[in-house]
Amino acid sequence: MNGRFDPKRTQRRYDRLASSYDLLEAPMERLGFASWRARLLERIGGDRVLEVGVGTGKNIPYYPQGIKITAVDLSPRMLDRARKRASHLHKEIDFLEMDVQKLGFPEHHFDTIFATFVFCSVPDPVVGLRELRRVCRPGGRVFLLEHMQSGNPLLGFFFDLLNPLAVRMTGANINRKTEENVLAAGWQIRLVEHLFLDVVRWIEAEG
């Protein structure tokens, strides 16, 4: 497989980062990521809910009460940290090691799917977004909180320039065209909200 789209490579990167990941991202959480996560989770509902790319479990404190949530991630070490966080918060969650590009669920299994700052690091984001559409029931919703390429030419140039360094340090691409990728995967976008310039966006789409 082309190394660019190799999930094993992504898994190894995030296994290496797991122990320091929260520390690396702490400044961004304080600058707004945490409050944006909380806002997104207020919108989550349904009998069956899936979080993809749960990572170290930063969204877990904001999970709504009384909703069954399945959480998946490609990295076993990230999942270990998410399980510990869930245990400390007394949350019951089904954790599974799984690649978003090849989800092990039947079609139309979930009512709602959400991801926060995930599709910047999925090797082939359109494939992953198509998988979300496959496992989401007709009329179900996906909620995405993502940073992506800016439409500003100057900012876009710098994002392209800095992207190799960002990938090397955190595994995240900072120049993904995620809104376009959502449409390419067959979703119908219902809402886009710009949270920080046009770089951090909240996308709500319907299958």
In tens, the pLDDT along 98-109 reads: 999 999 999 999
| 120 alpha carbon, distance to own chain's centre | 8
* Identity of residue 61: P
Rounded CA Rg of the chain: 16
Nearest partner of 51 among 107, 127, 105, judged by Cα: 105
Segment 58-87 mean pLDDT: 93
Per-residue pLDDT at 31:
80
The string of pLDDT tens digits covering residues 178-188 is 999 999 999 99
pLDDT at residue 88 is higher than 80 = yes
Tell me phi and psi for residue 139, to 5 degrees.
Answer: 85, -5
Chain position carrying tokens 């994002």: 159
Asked whether the predicted pLDDT for residue 17 surpasses 80, the reply is no
Residue 1 clears pLDDT 50, i.e. is over it: no
Average model confidence (pLDDT) across the chain = 91
Is the separation of the CB atoms in 167 and 173 below 8 Å?
yes
CA 18 to chain centre: 16
Distances (CA, A) of 39 to 52, 86, 184: 17, 19, 26
How long a stretch of residues is the chain?
A: 207
- Sorting pLDDT into bands at 50, 70 and 90, what band is 3? very low
Per-residue confidence band for 4, with pLDDT thresholds at 50, 70 and 90: low
Set out the domains of the chain in order of their start, with CATH numbers: 3-206 (3.40.50.150)
- What is the predicted pLDDT for the residue at 15? 73
More confident call, 176 vs 90? 176
Tokens of 168: 């090397």
The span from the CA of 86 to the CA of 35, in Å, is 19
**Which of 32, 50, 4 minimizes the C-alpha distance to 144?**
50
Give the model's pLDDT for residue 92: 84
Percent of the chain with pLDDT over 90: 73
21 Cβ partners below 8 Å, 6+ apart? 14, 55, 56, 78, 81
Q: Does residue 2 surpass a pLDDT of 50?
A: no
Chain position carrying tokens 């376009």: 180
